[in-house]
């Protein structure tokens, strides 16, 4: 029997991850619909896709109930990526971020349940909050700071999205998969919202100081976009993933200080590494997670997930992309 291509909706599809996901789905022969309000996404990210007859871009927000309903009822799958992006956005626009994450997800879930459309939601490692029990397992407790500290609003709102999605799964029999992303990097990612890898690379290429926030002893795990996108598609197509939460990323830790040194070496930059206190960037009382490492047992067992592209190779690819964008 001939393969029938699916119609797929990506919310936030003009963003860094969404644009790569759209690209991969189109390569697989799917028809892709993207809705994005371009607040943090960019038309540049999807420019190369717009000549494809199977690609459809709709400028709009997931807070627009009518627009979302019209899209959902015509598709076979939904990847819900639309959300506030980056720590800086959350600090600067806490109300907008909270409402987008909560209301937007509710509208998408409501319509997905109404039209019986399977849904994958991208959550975040931020949901673990101040939990310091490493590595993070999907069943672990969440520990958040004070309500006066807007830094925790993002993790709390995305955690609420998870509860809401699972409630729709249990009560409305909606096919839902939840992924918690850990520091995804790659071409098209911007450093404008606090993303550390593109910021370091851009600073090095421009000959500016490499600014590390805090002591630089905090650790993170970075996964390349290609590995992550393939995993998202694989999870969406696996019936055993329905109703479950999966950590997704790399589990190889590196200090931010060592990350800066690697970027400096690979860019052959003479930029000086400097340290900036958190309160100078995010205001008084900012709290950060000292370490963030996922337990990937669950996703490895289900789909055979593995990281194919090392951090150094990922950085080289981003450097090449940024150099070609300038030239």
Backbone angles phi, psi at 306, to 5 degrees: -150, 155
Question: Catalytic residue positions?
Answer: 154
Q: Is the peptide bond before 135 cis (omega within 30 degrees of 0)?
A: yes
Which conformational region is residue 228 in: left (phi greater than 0), alpha (psi within -120 to 50 degrees), or beta? alpha
Rounded Cα distance between 319 and 40, Å, is: 21
Residues 6+ apart with CB under 8 A from 325: none
Residue in 8, 2, 14, 21 with CA at minimum distance from that of residue 54: 8
Residue in 252, 176, 174, 241 with CA at minimum distance from that of residue 219: 252
Strand partners, 211: 274
Tell me whether strands 210-213 and 273-276 are parallel, antiparallel or unpaired.
parallel
First to last CA, the chain: 47
Rg (CA), the chain: 19
The tokens for 106 are 């509710």
Torsion (CA) 157, 185, 120, 27 in degrees, nearest 10: 150
Rounded Cα distance between 318 and 327, Å, is: 14
The tokens for 140 are 């672990």
The angle, 0 to 180 degrees and rounded to 10, between the axes of the packed helices 225-236 and 16-27 is 60
């Amino acid at each position: 029997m001939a393969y029938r291509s699916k119609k797929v909706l990506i919310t936030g599809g003009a963003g860094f991850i969404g644009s790569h996901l759209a690209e991969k789905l189109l390569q697989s022969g799917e028809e892709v619909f993207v809705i994005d309000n371009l607040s943090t996404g960019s038309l540049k990210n999807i420019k190369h896709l717009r000549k494809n007859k199977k690609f459809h871009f709709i400028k709009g927000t997931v807070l627009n109930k009518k627009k979302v309903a019209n899209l959902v009822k015509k598709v076979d799958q939904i990847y819900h990526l639309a959300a506030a992006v980056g720590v800086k956005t959350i600090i600067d626009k806490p109300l907008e971020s909270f409402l987008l994450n909560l209301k937007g997800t509710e509208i998408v879930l409501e319509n997905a349940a109404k039209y019986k459309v399977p849904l994958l939601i991208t959550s975040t490692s931020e949901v673990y909050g101040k939990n310091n029990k490493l590595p993070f397992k999907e069943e672990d407790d969440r520990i958040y700071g004070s309500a006066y500290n807007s830094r925790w609003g993002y993790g709390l709102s995305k955690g609420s999205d998870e509860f809401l999605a699972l409630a729709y799964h249990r009560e409305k029999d909606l096919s839902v998969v939840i992924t918690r992303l850990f520091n995804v990097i790659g071409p098209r990612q911007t450093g404008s919202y606090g993303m550390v890898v593109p910021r370091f690379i851009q600073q090095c290429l421009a000959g500016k100081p490499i600014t590390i926030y805090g002591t630089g002893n905090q650790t993170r795990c970075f996964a390349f976009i290609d590995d992550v996108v393939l995993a998202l598609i694989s999870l969406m197509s696996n019936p055993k993933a329905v109703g479950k939460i999966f950590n997704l990323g790399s589990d190889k830790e590196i200090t931010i200080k060592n990350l800066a040194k690697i970027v400096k070496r690979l860019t052959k930059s003479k930029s000086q590494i400097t340290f900036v206190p958190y309160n100078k960037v995010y205001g008084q009382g900012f709290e950060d997670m000292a370490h963030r490492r996922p337990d990937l047992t669950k996703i490895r067992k289900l789909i055979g997930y593995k990281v194919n592209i090392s951090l150094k190779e990922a950085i080289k690819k981003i450097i090449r992309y940024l150099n070609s964008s300038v030239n």
